[in-house]
Amino acid sequence: MSSSRSPLSFKLVLLGESAVGKSSLVLRFVKDQFDDYRESTIGAAFLTQTVSLDEQTTVKFEIWDTAGQERYKSLAPMYYRNANCAVVVYDITQPSSLEKAKSWIRELQRQADSNIIIALAGNKTDLASRRAVQTEEAEKYAAEENLLFLETSAKDSYNVSELFTMIARKLPLEQAANAQRGGRAGGSNLMGGGAGSQSGRAGVDLRGGGQGSNDACNC
């Protein structure tokens, strides 16, 4: 098993239709908060959070929370390129959002790193009376496509930390620890080299044609 005292950094991207709850899952994971009235993400947001797997192993997620609105779709490859892992989110009350999630998964399978770990998350389980996607249907699809799968509620804080921990356990920790010992950044292919951004969030507003902004992206 890997052992390391400094966190092993990995790049994670969230994808999915607008309003399925990507930002809400991240807000729950990073700050343990929930907003009933969240504004739709513009461009993308960047946040970090760590997960301790055991006394020796801490994983630091460098999280790109993408904007689900169709007009931002063409930006997505910048965020999933070189990602170690992806969370593709749908809303269990909206079957069309599962179809959208499947199309993101096909795109990741074609275009992202071939070793990317993909998790499918069916969010908003607190809206049980409005459920329109059965657990078994999504579970079967996830098994066929070799994806991790969990249903979650950002609102009720159900399965949110479990989702990220499940992903952390699947990451190539040994390899990252060896790379770190060898002097390379933990997650191997992180944008920004991993060490630069310690915590918190930065919005990346890509309106106005420039992705030239700031610390957000060196891709």
Ligand X SMILES: Nc1nc2c(ncn2[C@@H]2O[C@H](COP(=O)(O)OP(=O)(O)OP(=O)(O)O)[C@@H](O)[C@H]2O)c(=O)[nH]1
26-39 burial by CB neighbour count: b if 16+ within 10 A, else e?
Answer: bbbbbeeebeeeee
Closer residue to ligand X (CB): 126 or 174: 126
Closer residue to ligand X (CB): 9 or 90: 90
The closest alpha carbon to 25, from 120, 130, 111, 147, belongs to: 120
Closer residue to Mg ion (CB): 22 or 28: 22
Q: Which helix (H) or strand (E) holds 123?
A: strand 117-123
> Is position 66 an interface residue for Mg ion (rule: CB under 5 A)?
no
Residue 153 contacts which entry, ligand X, Mg ion, none (Cβ below 5-8 A, type-dependent):
ligand X
Q: Least distance (Å) from ligand X to the CB of residue 118?
A: 17
Helices (H), the chain: 22-31, 76-80, 95-111, 135-144, 160-170, 173-181
Binder among 154, 171, 204, 217 for ligand X (CB under 6 A): 154
Q: What span, in angstroms and rounded, lies between the C-alpha atoms of 121 and 137?
A: 13
Q: Least distance (Å) from ligand X to the CB of residue 123?
A: 5
Pick out residues in 65-84 that bind ligand X (CB under 6 A). Answer: 67-69
Binder among 2, 12, 21, 180 for ligand X (CB under 6 A): 21
